[in-house]
Amino acid sequence: MKRKLFAVSMAAAMATSCFAGTAFASDSEPVTIKVTRACFNLANPDSEQVKKVQDAINEYIKDKINVQIELTDIGSGEYTDKANLALANNEINLLWTASWEATIGTNDLVPANAVYDITDLLPGTPLYESMDEGQWEATKYDGKNYFVPVYKDN
């Protein structure tokens, strides 16, 4: 009986503590969270032009999705090494790759769990609808989508 009483009183205490401090204060400041997406691009960068593109993208998406991006363009000779280092340090969440790319190709990223299976997230989205099925089929690995194709219709 003592165990039941103790369990009930602990459950009541936990339930009460869940609601403690949830009242809205009229003078509280809003919380601001900065979300940054770091993108690594294979290029021969001109840092001034990259900054202009980054600023234009950030201005365009600011009111739409409230996210800022940070573009990091890397010369083609050092891309693989720097992208691998960024992956190992969890500093990267968007990068260019191809099945033939050494050490950061699709055959390396999927088995290393460096990419996510997005198959169930895609259907019905504007991104998915913007490309034909053939584009998506070309990016599959073992029948699943882990990658978004680079595709421009014009």
Kindly report the CA angle at 148 between 146 and 149, in degrees rounded to 5? 125
Provide the pLDDT for residue 79: 79
* Cα three-residue angle 143-145-151, rounded to 5 degrees: 120
CB 37 within 8 A of CB 70: yes
What is d(CA 85, CA 91) in angstroms, rounded to the nearest whole number? 8
Predicted pLDDT of residue 88: 85
Spatial separation of the C-alpha atoms in residues 111 and 25, rounded to whole Å: 49
Across the range 24-30, mean pLDDT stands at 61
pTM of the model: 0.56
Q: Give the pLDDT confidence score for residue 153 in this predicted structure.
A: 63
- Does the domain at 31-115 match CATH 1.10.287? Answer given as no
pLDDT given at position 7: 40
pLDDT band at 64, cuts 50/70/90? confident
Which one is predicted more confidently, 46 or 102?
46
Instruction: Report DSSP state, residue 150.
Output: -
Model pLDDT, residue 76: 74
Residue 149's pLDDT is what?
A: 87
Cβ pair 96, 105 in contact under 8 A: no
Domain spans in the chain, listed from the N-terminal domain onward: 31-115, 116-154
CA distance 96 to 105: 9
Per-residue pLDDT of 122-139, as tens digits, reads 999 998 998 888 989 988
pLDDT surpasses 70 at 47: yes
